[in-house]
Amino acid sequence: MSPAPPDKPALRRQHAARRRQALPAVERSIQLRVQALLAQRPDSGGRVGVYWPLRHEVDLRGLAAPLALPAVSGGQLCYRPWDGRSVLEPDDCGIPAPAPATGNLEAPALSLLLIPALAIDHQGFRLGYGGGWYDRLRCQPQWRRVACLAVLPQACLTPLLPHDPWDIPLDGWVHEQGWRWL
């Protein structure tokens, strides 16, 4: 008899607890590593896609870079420019996002996507909350060309995560010890 497949909801609870426990001690170090990563990347003129931090996610809103925030609108994830000061309004998922009037950005306008993760494995498969928003965005060829890194504590790296055929591996990750490109 073969072993039962891993239970993704149980893994989400386990890694959410691990992240919640680890983050207070390492969040500032992760923020500094992300800023160092941006300083080493050649300036492509593109914005950096970040996220509105929820549920013990690393807060990247203070990065010294032109930023964009995601918004779910009409059943799709898009990115909109954000200057760090403009008023935000809830998107279709209730998460603060730039207003639709700011306009949606096309993939070439972003040079890097930094996305939250509960965990990531050594192949780049990410464990998120299960909504599939980033996978659906990144299945589009133009978005697949934008480098995408998970942002999380090192305690949330794991050798192997279960993944489905629609899961798209990320290009690497950033944690308090540095970053890794795959």
Map out the domains of the chain with their CATH numbers.
8-181 (3.40.50.10420)
Q: Can you tell me whether residue 8 is helix, strand or coil?
A: helix
Strands 88-90 and 76-82: unpaired
Q: Give the model confidence (pLDDT) of 71-124 as tens digits.
A: 999 999 999 999 988 889 999 999 999 999 889 999 999 999 999 999 999 999
For tokens 């954000």, name the residue.
82
Confidence of residue 2 (pLDDT cuts 50, 70, 90): very low
Residue 7's pLDDT is: 87
Residue 55's pLDDT is: 84
- Please state the rounded mean pLDDT for residues 43-60: 90
Residue 43's pLDDT is: 63
Residue 73's pLDDT is: 94
Q: Using CA atoms, how far apart are residues 33 and 27, in angstroms rounded to an integer?
A: 10
- Please state the rounded mean pLDDT for residues 123-132: 94
- Average model confidence (pLDDT) for the chain? 93
Strands 76-82 and 67-73: antiparallel
